[in-house]
Amino acid sequence: MSDATLNTLPEGPNIKGKLSRDDIIMRAGMGVIALYLVVTMVFPLYAMLSKSFSTYQFDLATYELQVSDEEGNFSGEILNPLNLNATLGIYGDDDMITGSDGRLPLTKLFPDFSFRSTVKYKIRNKVEGGRFLVGSTLHTELDWLELDSNTFRRAQIRPVKATGFGNFINYFSTPALFNSIKNSLFIAVISTIVTVSLAFWFAYALNRSCMRFKGFFRLVAMAPILVPSLLPGIALVYLFGNQGMIKELLFGASIYGPIGIVIGSVFFTFPHAFLIISTALAISDARLYEAAVSLRASPWRTFWTVTIPGARYGLISAAFVVFNLVITDFGLPKVIGGQFNVLAVDIYKQVIGQQNFEMGAVVSVVLVIPAILAFGIDRMVQSKQVALLSARSVPYQPTPSAKMDGIFLAYCTGVALFVLGMLAVCQFAALIKFWPYDLNLSLNNYQFDKMDGGGWASYFNSIKLGLITAVVGTSIVFFGAYLVEKSNGFRIGRALFQMFAMLPMAIPGMVLGLAYIFFFNNPANPLNAVYGTMAILVICTVTHFYTVSHLTAVTALKQMDREFESVSASLKQPTLKLFGRVTVPVCLPSILDISIYLFVNAMTTVSAVVFLYSPKTTLASIAVLNMDDAGDVAPAAAMGMMIFYTNAAARIIHLIASRGILKRTQAWRTQ
């Protein structure tokens, strides 16, 4: 007997609270939404990953051949192509790896083959599933097929499916593809630096100066979020293309390439960077600045030792968000990229152009890596963030300064001109009859039904998609966030759910779309029926934009005291009743924010849905892409501006609705 056993009490039974009916309902709800995320994200991504390892190989061993003499008599000796190749050494192992469309002629295995010869050949599949072509007729049967020399020339074997790293080896040994990694990183880094610097000073001017027209500039800065990312590309063609209005400004450089991609990327990522940095700059402790002044620090020194450190988390976050947006964007480089290949466009080219789905999956896997890295680093940095404002903080109030305010006003006007100019150019281009030869105004470019892309129907489809996504998405996201935020215990489950909810942010739209093809277009999948319908577009869009919506909802819910739940429990009210009666009304502003966010993104998204639309569900954003692709650039601009006006109108309605609802439901907040 040792002392230790004497001094410790025997372990008691592990006491667990009994699960109430509410707890069960909430856990079940969480399970359902987690299952949704698993089915719409984890499974498709897994399907894609396994596709990237699915290779096609010629399997010489699965065929048998016979050769006759000059008179056409067969000796009965059966030749195996594998052994023939082994003796002759014609094809190496690398030659055996191919795509789904690969073909391998057999004549090379017969050094003295001549198509004029009277020698006859026999060929057959040795096993079930073997495939060879004669001309373009597929043979899968096991019977011997006799061919004369001239026909044997047209016999080719087809590859069989295998699993392995073949596609990746192939990818990294193709410089044309491999180069895209470098290109993508290059434009992403440059665009990030430019956008973050521009957005920082813009946000600084709005938060730390006494400049006029702040409201107006804030509105303008947010405008690019309302258009598809390829619209700035179209504007740039009109501005700097060979017939561009101000192409002289480029001094002969071509807009088609990195220059165009960077300018366009700055345009469409600006609002994202601005929002994040602005939030970071909005809160600041005036006491730090007072201290700086009393220590006689120069404004420059104060800027680097107080302002920048205070905003560093915002800056880092903005940088990663922009980096991710640029590297995963597909529309812009497609329109203005010229010969400058980037990863996202490679996926499109592999899948749409070459029907090489396996290679598309490989490029997707490659694209996911920097996206996930950027996302992961950002998360790590954010988790280190500590509250800057304490209860004793004094909010910073900018002091008027005629000189600084003037400089900032000029700067912001410049940025606003850039943003508004791009939009104006698109609208102008849409109204011109035939640029540059017939400058009369006309509405011809609005006759979408005469162009590719699905006509006006695609515009209405987009609105439909936006509305459904807003309603369905907001319900799923908010309810999910509520369950994960307010349910008791079940830590592992909640942590897992949080992880699933964060994951979509790291998955590029192109990758998600492609993964959906692999997963949903599989006849063995019971969910196959949604393929080609509006439902799959809604699912894809909700999942694609899940994370930001989820975070908005969680932030709103965190502001609500958990006491509400305790009170409702002690009053013996079901939690769901509390949810409907209290939580939803209180969080209504955030719910509206989530729905408008989903609506706007559903209207503008291209990358995720480009693989998923069907003729009945063509979308306006895809129509912009397709019309531009067919060379109908002006109608593409017209459609792009239709998206802009629709989103702007939705924003205004949202604003009015929020005001009205705020007045009615949030009156208590002001007391």
Partner 1 sequence: MKLKAPIFATLAAGAILATSAVAETELTVYTAVEAEDLARYAETFNASHPDIKINWVRDSTGIVTAKLLAERDNPQADVVWGLAATSLLLLKSEGMLEGYAPVGVEKLDAKFVDGDNPPAWVGMDAWVASVCYNTVEAEKAGLKPPTSWKDLTDPMYAGHLIMPNPNSSGTGFLDVSSWLQMFGEEGGWAYMDALHENIARYTHSGSKPCKLAAAGEIPIGISFAFRGAKSKAAGAPLEIIVPSEGVGWDMEATAIVAGTANLEAAKTLVDFTVTLEANEMYNTGYAVVAMPGVAKPVEHFPEGLLDAMIDNDFEFAANNRAAILSEWQSRYDGKSDPK
- Residues at the interface with partner 1 (CB under 8 A): 98-103, 133, 135-138, 140, 154, 156, 158, 174-177, 179-180, 237, 241-243, 254, 256-258, 334, 338-341, 349, 351-355, 357, 434-438, 450-453, 455, 517, 521-523, 528, 532, 614-616, 626, 629-633
Sign of CA dihedral 167, 169, 172, 176: negative
User: What does the H/E/C string look like for 27-45?
Assistant: HHHHHHHHHHHHHHHHHHH
Residue 577 near residue 642 (C-beta atoms within 8 A)? no
CB of 68 to partner 1, least distance (A): 25
Rounded CA gap, 438 and 453, in Å?
25
Rounded CA gap, 558 and 561, in Å?
7
CB of 452 to partner 1, least distance (A): 5
CB of 542 to partner 1, least distance (A): 24
Nearer to partner 1, 230 or 419 (CB): 230
H-only helix segments in 581-632: 584-586, 588-604, 620-629
Nearer to partner 1, 243 or 566 (CB): 243
Distances (CA, A) of 14 to 7, 86, 243: 20, 68, 78
Nearer to partner 1, 557 or 627 (CB): 627
CB of 240 to partner 1, least distance (A): 11
Nearer to partner 1, 353 or 585 (CB): 353
Rounded CA gap, 265 and 380, in Å?
25
Rounded CA gap, 518 and 47, in Å?
6
Q: DSSP label at 10?
A: P
Nearer to partner 1, 306 or 622 (CB): 622
Residue closest to 229 by CA, chosen among 608, 652, 653, 634: 608
CB of 437 to partner 1, least distance (A): 7
Residue closest to 49 by CA, chosen among 517, 365, 351, 508: 365
Residue closest to 374 by CA, chosen among 324, 327, 328: 324
Q: DSSP label at 298?
A: -
Look-up of token digits 């372990």: 11
Residue 16, φ and ψ in degrees, nearest 5: -125, 140
CA torsion 649-651-657-661 (nearest 10°) is 180
CB of 435 to partner 1, least distance (A): 6
CB of 478 to partner 1, least distance (A): 35
Nearer to partner 1, 31 or 631 (CB): 631
Nearer to partner 1, 170 or 552 (CB): 170
CB of 343 to partner 1, least distance (A): 11
Distance of CA 90 to the CA centre of its chain: 44
Rounded CA gap, 622 and 604, in Å?
9
CB of 98 to partner 1, least distance (A): 7
CA torsion 249-251-255-261 (nearest 10°) is -80
CB of 614 to partner 1, least distance (A): 7
CB of 242 to partner 1, least distance (A): 5
CB of 205 to partner 1, least distance (A): 35
CB of 116 to partner 1, least distance (A): 18
Nearer to partner 1, 242 or 399 (CB): 242
Cα angle value 250/252/258 (rounded, 5°): 65
Nearer to partner 1, 277 or 638 (CB): 638
Nearer to partner 1, 34 or 608 (CB): 608
DSSP-assigned states of every residue in 363-419: HHHHHHHHHHHHHHHHHHHHHT---S--TT--B------HHHHHHHHHHHHHHHHHH
Token couple for 122: 């026999």
Residue closest to 85 by CA, chosen among 157, 150, 161: 157
Rounded CA gap, 246 and 149, in Å?
64
Nearer to partner 1, 635 or 640 (CB): 635
CB of 519 to partner 1, least distance (A): 13
CB of 158 to partner 1, least distance (A): 8
CB of 372 to partner 1, least distance (A): 24
Strand partners, 145: 123
**Residues ≥6 apart with Cβ < 8 Å to 446:** 430, 635, 638
**Residue 661, CB half-sphere, CA atoms under 13 Å: how many?**
16
Nearer to partner 1, 455 or 589 (CB): 455
Nearer to partner 1, 34 or 259 (CB): 259
Nearer to partner 1, 327 or 419 (CB): 327
Rounded CA gap, 140 and 131, in Å?
5
Strand partners, 148: 120
Token couple for 29: 């709800």
Nearer to partner 1, 36 or 428 (CB): 428
Rounded CA gap, 412 and 206, in Å?
9
Q: DSSP label at 79?
A: B
Nearer to partner 1, 197 or 354 (CB): 354
